[in-house]
Every structure is written in C-alpha cells, then in structure tokens.
C-alpha cells in the first residue's frame, strides 16, 4: 500500500471474488449476535446492527447452524429477508448443537438434513455459500463435500466452502467440487494460513475468508478484561486470554496502538487493513454487536494505511511474539489447520 492520502484507492473498495460473487473486502461475521461471547444482545439490538450493516454497504453476511444452535440463522433470515437479493448469504454445516452440546458431524445424511433446516431458518430457497464448518475426522472430506455438491446440483446451494482446514484437505475437496472459499482464523496474532492455505487459496482461485481478524476483540479500542468475561464466554478457555499469557499480549497491543495512533487510524482499523493487505483474494469478516464499531471497521476501506505501518504491525505481533496458543489442546486436536510456530 502507498502513503496516506485523501483519495480512496479503487483497490480497497473493489469487489473481491468469492466464487461467482463479488463482495467488498470487509463483510460481517454474525456469530456474536447469538453465540460464544456470553449473554447475546437483545433482539432489537441485533436487528439494528444487521439493518445498519446493510445500509452501510455490507454484502457478505456469515452465519452457521452452530451459532445459537439455529438462533443466529433464524435472526439473519428474519431481519435480512427483505434484502435477500442485495446480499451474499453464507452459512455452515458439519458442526451443530445436539441436546445442548456442540457436535462435529460430517456425514452426508447429516449435511443434507442440516441444509434443509438452514434453508427454513434463513427463509430462503438457496444459500449462496455453504461451508463445511469443521472436518469430521471419521468421514473422508470427499464424502462430506460430495454431499454438499449434491446440494448445488439440487439448487439449494450456489457455492461451497470449507472452514478450519489445511491446504492438503482443501486440495482434496477441490478435486471433488470447486471450492469458492476457505474460512480460517487469520489476524496479526493468528498466522496459521501463512503455513500453506494462503498460498493454496491463491493458486486455486479460492477466496480466503478471515474470521476473527480483530483477535476476538483483543485488537480493538476496548480489549476484554479476562477476569470480567461472562460465564460461558469462549475466551475463558483460550490460552491467550489466561493469566499466564494475557499481560504479555497486552504489552504487544500497546505497541500496536502506538503505531495506529502515529498513522491516524484506530487499532482495529490497523488490524483490518493488515489482513486485507495480505492478498486480493482475502476477505475479512469481523463481528461486532456495536453499530459504532461496525462503522469504524467499515471505514477502514476509506483509509490509506501506509505500508510501513502495516509492516511494523506485522513484526510487532506474529506467531513468534504472541503469548499462548489460539485454542486449548482439546480444541486444537479437532482442527485440521496447519499449526503455527509455538502458538499452535
């Protein structure tokens, strides 16, 4: 990227390819409106956030059967139904809630049933982008993707994606049916895609959709205080937020905040600009419950953050400097992505 200027570079606003679709470089992850981070917002607050996102030009909305065990798909379907033709709607199968528990299940019969349930909750005849949320190690990826390909043939899904898988699994799946997008965690402190999937997606013409690009709220103006997180907040089980590692990460965050201030942007904008600069095939989907933060995130596309600022940010916080793994050992064992340095 070039030095700051008042002009908005066309490349920062230009649509990025997501299979048959063109979407802005920043979309919206909808998970935290129903799931994972303690008590969700009220229905009114969630609806306001989604409606504002449409009004502000968000095109890609990302949900999943897992989020709220169906509640998030219902929310997105109810609120965004009137805007269906103006958005790209993504959801996921292969990991759902069963009797109050998270279950990974990539069997073809489960995928077919989950898709029908999703279509009903989303109030649509077709899902634009349907991901396999997790690789079920008991089921060859070829079988799971084969069942998803049948959904495309049946007109229930337009394009297929994978989530949290390695480059080798991506290539196996892509040989069965074209994969439009690979969704993996990617941020300044989660560099796993740089171990293979960033290059593989580029080679195959697959979009890399970066979830948690703001490091689960850590790279924002109000980082979480672990001791104040509500019960069942998933960050309570993540090593980077525990007492042994969090202080070291906060020290790195302070350095990043200084870089952002020196270049006239917020820390969140610096972090998002860094992710979006990692390739023209990269799309970020930060989540938020705040209209103010939503607008702050989207305003990143109106900024020309200098290359030296992005380079400095990437040196301050990376796989070698971050403290702690991104998941605990149990969760890491479930995930097919490449490990990254000492941080998992």
Rounded distance between C-alpha atoms, residue 336 and residue 62, angstroms: 21
Contact assessment for residue 64 and residue 73, using Cβ atoms and an 8 Å cutoff: yes
Is 246 catalytic? The answer is: no
The token pair that represents 38 in the structure block? 């303690």
Nearest to 305 by CA among 280, 277, 284: 277
Put residue 307 in one of left, alpha, beta given phi > 0 → left and psi -120 to 50 → alpha.
alpha
Catalytic one of 67, 131, 246, 327: 67
The Cα–Cα gap between 297 and 285 comes to: 10
What totals of helices (H) and strands (E) does the chain contain, helices first? 12, 12
The pairing of beta strand 16-18 with beta strand 127-132: unpaired
242 Cβ neighbours under 8 A, 6+ residues apart: 226, 324
Active site residues: 67
């Amino acid at each position: 990227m070039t030095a700051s200027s008042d002009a908005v570079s066309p490349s920062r606003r230009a649509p990025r390819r997501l299979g048959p679709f063109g979407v802005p470089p920043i979309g919206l992850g909808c998970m935290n409106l129903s799931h994972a981070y303690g008590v969700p917002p009220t229905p009114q607050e969630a609806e306001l956030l989604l409606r504002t996102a449409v009004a502000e030009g968000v095109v890609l909305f990302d949900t999943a059967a897992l989020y709220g065990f169906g509640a998030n798909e219902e929310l997105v379907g109810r609120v965004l139904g009137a805007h269906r033709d103006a958005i790209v709607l993504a959801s996921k199968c292969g990991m759902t809630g069963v009797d109050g528990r998270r279950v990974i299940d990539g069997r073809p019969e489960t995928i077919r049933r989950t898709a029908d349930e999703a279509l009903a909750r989303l109030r649509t005849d077709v899902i634009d982008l349907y991901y396999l949320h997790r690789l079920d190690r008991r089921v060859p990826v070829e079988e799971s993707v084969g069942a998803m390909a049948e959904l495309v043939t049946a007109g229930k899904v337009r394009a297929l994606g994978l989530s949290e898988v390695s480059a080798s699994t991506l290539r196996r799946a892509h040989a069965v049916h074209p994969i439009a997008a690979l969704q993996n965690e990617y941020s300044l402190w989660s560099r796993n895609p740089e171990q293979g999937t960033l290059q593989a997606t580029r080679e195959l013409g697959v979009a890399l959709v970066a979830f948690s690009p703001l490091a689960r709220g850590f790279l924002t103006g109000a980082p979480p205080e672990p001791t104040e997180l509500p019960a069942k907040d998933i960050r309570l089980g993540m090593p980077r937020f525990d007492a042994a590692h969090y202080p070291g990460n906060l020290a790195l965050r302070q350095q990043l905040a200084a870089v952002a201030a020196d270049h006239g942007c917020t820390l969140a904008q610096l972090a998002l600009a860094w992710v979006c600069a990692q390739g023209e095939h990269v799309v970020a989907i930060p989540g938020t419950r705040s209209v103010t933060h939503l607008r702050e995130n989207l305003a990143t596309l109106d900024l020309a953050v200098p290359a030296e600022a992005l380079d400095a940010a990437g040196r301050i916080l990376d796989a070698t400097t971050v403290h702690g793994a991104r998941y605990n050992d149990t969760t890491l064992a479930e995930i097919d992505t490449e490990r990254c340095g000492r941080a998992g």
